[in-house]
Amino acid sequence: MKRKEKKPAPPAPEQITRAIARRVRQHVIGKPQTFFAVVQPGFEEVARDELSELGIENFGEPVEGGVEFTSKLEGCYRVNVAARTVTRVVMRLFDIRLTNLGDLSKKITALPWELYLPDGAAVAFKVSSERSPLYHEGLVEIEMHHAIAARLQRYEFNMSAADAEDGPDVQEIVVRLRGDRCQFSIDTSGGLLYKRGRKPFVTEASLRETLAAGILRAAGWKDANTLIDPMCGSGTFTLEALEMASGRLANAERVFPFKFWPAFRPAAFAHLLTKLTEAARAAKRPVRIIAFDNDAEAVAAARGNLARSGLDTENVEIRKSDFFDPESATIPPDSRPLLVLNPPYGKRLRKKDTGSLFRRIGETVRHHYRGGHAVIVPGLELEKALSLTYDRKILFRNGGLPVAVICKLP
């Protein structure tokens, strides 16, 4: 009689955990990964310089809207914590061929999701489809969720569906369907990095912190010692410039999703944070900031934001003044000043008024200010009206409008 073959016993849970930990060490911690730092289009070069300063060395080909780089996980942690010009960082996971919904489940369950997602992960998907036969993004999302959950179940990991807005412990997976390719990335930032969470008061047309930081870098703030911010609004330039000079890290307090990854090592991260904090403190330098606005509410908002910044504000002055009043232009002697201007434009002003506003801005800068300047200007016509010289010009979109910032280095 034929003997019944004995089925091998399933591996014990500790064995599974050990095996995953080994594969995580080998494939995720031990190897360089590819990351994409999303950046305001126009500021790719500025961001790349910042990433280089943070020790990133291997960059991909230039692309619009971001900077690709390869590094160990630590590099991605550095960028998230310290970069000021980056909107968010995603890590590339897999790039597979996917041409029909029938194949999706088999192909997705074959991928090693257990190396990236922790047990109990609340996952949100961001699916975008272009020229792909899988055009129904909602359906793809549902199928992906089931397939990844099925893969994780093999390791007795649970996974639930969530919304990216639900909070810091939600893990977002970005799925790009392009033609017959499907690219998966995992978000490492947990929400957009310009939401620093330190500016409670906003005014109309506030700049994003990442954009303000990009302009300050492009205009050479590090080489100036006095910032003049005459249309300060809620004080975004003022706060970013002060944070930079005070040696504060951009996002040290943030709860990043990578802190829940199987590859995360708390002790190594704490060490990195200490090193970054020390490096930022070493770059601390004395500066003076003079901010004003002709709107009392804007002045109150900027002052409120400054008061809550937790920074040394002794050399920062925020007052109600008119930029066109020659008395306002008090530039301390022996200073190396940088003037930053984000004037009102667009819907809020009539075309005729905008022309004369930019002409007057140009005249005021030429007659009453010296040193460097960075002025945001919407369109060539107004740039001509402004009639200021510059060393660098960056084209970008702000509030949906095509604009430029013209920068003269201090």
Ligand X SMILES: C[S@@+](CC[C@H](N)C(=O)[O-])C[C@H]1O[C@@H](n2cnc3c(N)ncnc32)[C@H](O)[C@@H]1O
Residue ranges in contact with ligand X by CB under 6 A:
203, 205-207, 230-231, 233-234, 236-237, 293-295, 298, 322-324, 342-344
Helix (H) or strand (E) holding 39: strand 33-39
CA atoms within 13 A on the CB side of 262: 24
Q: Which is nearer to ligand X, 33 or 203 (CB)?
A: 203
N- to C-terminal Cα separation, the chain = 93
Q: Which is nearer to ligand X, 231 or 377 (CB)?
A: 231
Q: Which residue of the chain is nearest ligand X when measured via CB?
A: 233
Q: ∠ CA(229), CA(234), CA(240), 5° rounding?
A: 60
Q: Which is nearer to ligand X, 185 or 206 (CB)?
A: 206
Q: How far is CA 20 from CA 239, 257, 281, in A?
A: 44, 19, 39
Q: Which is nearer to ligand X, 68 or 295 (CB)?
A: 295
Q: Which is nearer to ligand X, 293 or 383 (CB)?
A: 293
Q: Which is nearer to ligand X, 186 or 207 (CB)?
A: 207
| Distance in Å, CB of 355 to ligand X, minimum | 15
How far is it, in rounded angstroms, from Cα 167 to Cα 342?
32
| Distance in Å, CB of 374 to ligand X, minimum | 11
| Distance in Å, CB of 293 to ligand X, minimum | 4
CA atoms within 13 A on the CB side of 306: 27
β-strand pairing of 226-229 with 337-341: parallel
Residue 48 CB partners (closer than 8 Å, separation 6+)? 59, 67
| Distance in Å, CB of 260 to ligand X, minimum | 33
| Distance in Å, CB of 253 to ligand X, minimum | 22
| Distance in Å, CB of 39 to ligand X, minimum | 19
